[in-house]
Structure 1
Amino acid sequence: MDSKQMIEAIRAREKSLVLPSLSHDKAWQLGEWLRARALASDLPLYVEVFINGGVRFAAASPRAHNNLAEWVRRKRNLVLRMGQSSYLTDLVFEQWGISLEPFGMNQADYGLGGGGFPIHVADVSIIGALTISGLPSIDDHNLVVECLAEHLAMDFAGLKLTRPASE
């Protein structure tokens, strides 16, 4: 899959991963699912669920370093600003050869890379972001997609992205 195909694949996934509703309890469950996966697989992850202007869940696995919380904040800001996953924005910017600055964003507050995903609720809109950091970009992205797919009872196998041949 080349970068253009990957961009289209991510756009399609984002359209399919829409929650019917989201309560604070469900937001907590999304965060707990990711935290449990990090602990079970000994992953160095920081996890955040941000909805309606506030953090509803945040956790760091034992192997997560302190800077991951900053990466999560920056990726979350990018998701909320662009209305799409941080990995999609990263790939599009790379394909176009552009940076954050032409969009009025700086690297101190916005971060390119996988792991930030919009929380889109049906008949509402994007109400927040589900964001992790600690793995390579594509793996961060895939883990968040897997979490959402699991909660929507969707088959993750058909949603998982594979690394481009150039990596």
Structure 2
Amino acid sequence: MTTPSFTVPELEAQEAELELPRFTYEDAWTLGSLLRELAVARHAPVTIDIHRGPQQLFRCALPGSTPDNDAWVDRKRRVTERYAAASYLVGARFRAKNTTFEASSHLNPDTYAAHGGSFPLRVTDTGVIGTVTVSGLPQVEDHALVVEALRAFKGQVG
């Protein structure tokens, strides 16, 4: 698999494209299971997490993942929650300004990580209601895996 790379406009377009008509508890299970199937097929050693607000609706750790992946999931999720944007997009916006998230956000890097893998769950006419996060691959691959799963999921829910 070729490692993708994304510009800020491409990342913003992904967020617009992946706005969902709804997101229920059952949808969290469906999306999480879809992500798990994609990761298992690729032997990807990832941790998968889905939150709706402060409530965790799905969590799965695959073989090869470690407790460090749990910490990365939480740090990336906090960035998505704070900025209402994909963690990779947040980091890319800082890089586009010739700086880094760590240098310019003034947020504790032990609590926040603007690395790829967390994506906002945005519902039409509601806004961001949660996050879906993956950790265990290089950051752009974590991000791409989440986007692939969201595209497939959106195709199922309309």
1:149 and 2:151 are equivalent in the alignment:
yes
Whole-angstrom CA distance in 2 between matches of 1:110 and 1:99: 9
> Deviation per CA, 1:64-123, whole angstroms, max 9, x where unpaired?
122001000000000000111001111111222143464342101101211000000111
Scaled by the length of structure 2, what TM-score is found? 0.90
Aligned to 1:165: none
SS at match of 1:43: coil
Greater displacement, 43-52 / 32-41? 32-41
Aligned to 2:59: 58
The answer to whether the 8 Å contact 2:122/2:129 transfers is: yes
Q: How is 1:74-89 mapped onto 2 (pairs within 5 angstroms)?
A: 74-89=75-90
- Indicate the structure whose relative CO is greater, using CA pairs within 8 Å and at least 6 residues apart: 2
> Deviation per CA, 1:120-150, whole angstroms, max 9, x where unpaired?
0111110111000111111111110011100
Whole-angstrom CA distance in 2 between matches of 1:102 and 1:87: 16
Gaps of 5+ in 1: 155-167
Whole-angstrom CA distance in 2 between matches of 1:130 and 1:27: 9
Amino acid corresponding to residue 150 of structure 1 in structure 2: A
Aligned to 1:37: 38
Whole-angstrom CA distance in 1 between matches of 2:101 and 2:140: 19
Aligned to 1:49: 50
Aligned to 1:9: 10
Gaps of 5+ in 2: none
Moved over 4 A (4+): none
Q: How is 1:100-111 mapped onto 2 (pairs within 5 angstroms)?
A: 100=102, 102-111=104-113
Whole-angstrom CA distance in 2 between matches of 1:104 and 1:27: 32
Scaled by the length of structure 1, what TM-score is found? 0.85
SS at match of 1:49: strand
Whole-angstrom CA distance in 2 between matches of 1:133 and 1:9: 21
For the aligned residues, what is the CA RMSD? 1.6
Whole-angstrom CA distance in 1 between matches of 2:135 and 2:104: 25
> Deviation per CA, 1:25-62, whole angstroms, max 9, x where unpaired?
10111111111222222111000001021110000001
Amino acid corresponding to residue 30 of structure 1 in structure 2: L
How high is the sequence identity, in percent, across the aligned residues?
33
Whole-angstrom CA distance in 2 between matches of 1:55 and 1:153: 24
1:129 and 2:144 are equivalent in the alignment:
no
Whole-angstrom CA distance in 2 between matches of 1:54 and 1:104: 26
